[in-house]
Structure 1
Amino acid sequence: YLLGVSVGNQFVSVVNSYIQNPTPQIEVQVPGDYVFSLTTSDGTLSETKEITVHVRKDKKEEKVDQTIKEKEFQKPSISFLDDIVYVKPGETVNLFTDYDAGDTTQSPDLSWKSTSTSVQLAEDGRSFNRATISDIGTHTVEVQAMTGAYVAKSEVTVMVINENLPPQISLANEMNVVLSSEPIMLNASGTMDPNGDTLTHRWELVKQPQGSSLTSDSIQGRTFAYATNKIDDVQYYLFFAGCMFLTALLFIPYAMRYRGETYIQEGTSETSSTKS
């Protein structure tokens, strides 16, 4: 059994390496400031955002606080997985939350509400909900978690739209990297299209320090916003489930050829019967 699981995992990992798209990255040899831009388009509208990467020679030493601090009581908290959700008029959108109990031990009492009368919420008292909104515009949905004497709240903005909006790029303003053999990893994993359209991406090298002769073509995987797979969503999991099932079928002939002379349970039962 363990051999079968091990072979299956190895098989899946090999297949996984072939279905991954190139991760956007670039190797640099000169310390300094590098500026990269990402342009994302839905075929009609496009959006561009820049990020500055500070490349240093050595790692900056951080002072460690040696003082012993008393642990503070962690209050419960709740938050939505998304800050803004886009939906078309009349469609139902799923709203998911993440609850952290902190140092409390009681189960929370969850309640949902919205200040907009056009928002129809399907559930109450659960960690997720479904909202149906017919009016175009900006709507707010609030969830409240009451745990004993503690109350935690969180809000999400639901944008009901009927027009094509430009893509939304999620990219940090800047980041620090230590000059080493590791490449700079470019990541815009939160990039999305409000209308759910298919997006195209392109990274560009806008600025580099003196002495560096890199170009935009030096960026590997520059047509991807972040590390992605060629198979997405449900197909991804179905594919790997199929791979594991195929591996199990291939392992059956080997398992059929393995025949132990005596099993532990059989030997134990025979010994006990002899003693009796």
Structure 2
Amino acid sequence: MSTCPDRQFHALHQDGLLLLANCWDPGSARIAALAGAPALATSSAAVAWAHGYPDGSKLPSHLLVETAARIAANNALPLSVDMEDGYGDDLEQVARLAEELMVVGVVGINIEDGAGTPELLCEKIAAIRRIAQKRDISLFINARCDVYLRGLAPEGERVAMVLERAARYAEAGASGMFVPGLRDPGEIAAVVAGISLPLNVMALPGLPPVAQLRDLGVRRLSAGSAIAEGMFGYVKGFTEHFLATGGLDAPAASPARYGELNAWMESAAAAE
């Protein structure tokens, strides 16, 4: 495998299944590395929560870059960063943010269509690819398609919409296709067969087991914000138990829910 982090990260998507235990700071990245992670990837939600902001492009972009820089400085593994929708629709601004991330050592990004149009994401991908080429970095641009996550098409029509978007994102310069919410084995197989990009899915209840995902041709499995949800849920339960009893024998706590965590951070932001 190439020793260049950017090419190394690309190579990890070629065979088998790359599992990414998404991190949010140097400490969680170090734990992922010690656990045997072959690469590092941030969760946008987890990074935002760690800074006291809700998910959804609410985190000031300079904090995203600073977090990436600190993770990269303390780890030798390839690093991919979730930049949500690019923190805006201005193409120059989006490309500049991607460039700032590359400068600090990032070799992969996630960028999503979300509630926006596929045309807009194509423009963002193309703008980022131009900057990466100028820097001679083989940036892995993982295009996140939210057709399933947001229910953008009726059941039975979602695969076709994903395939149509995947073709456009690949032409614009994407390196991978991330379809969170895609779970049905038959639909996963149809997407794998119909796209030219490595397929990334998110670990969610109802997803086929790892061995089956490998057989279906999935190339990347992301934990998303789940690890951070577990951590924050434990911290809240432990803290509440200590404040109520003075004891350190807190019982096991359930993970916090995504919406619950976002609400906590929204409340904190509103109080500032």
Shared fold (TM-score greater than 0.5)? no
- Greater Rg over alpha carbons, structure: 1
More helix by share: 2
More strand by share: 1
Coarse TM-score class (shorter-chain normalised) = under 0.3
Structure ranking higher on relative contact order (CA contacts 8 Å, 6+ apart): 1
Normalized against structure 1, the TM-score is what? Answer: 0.22
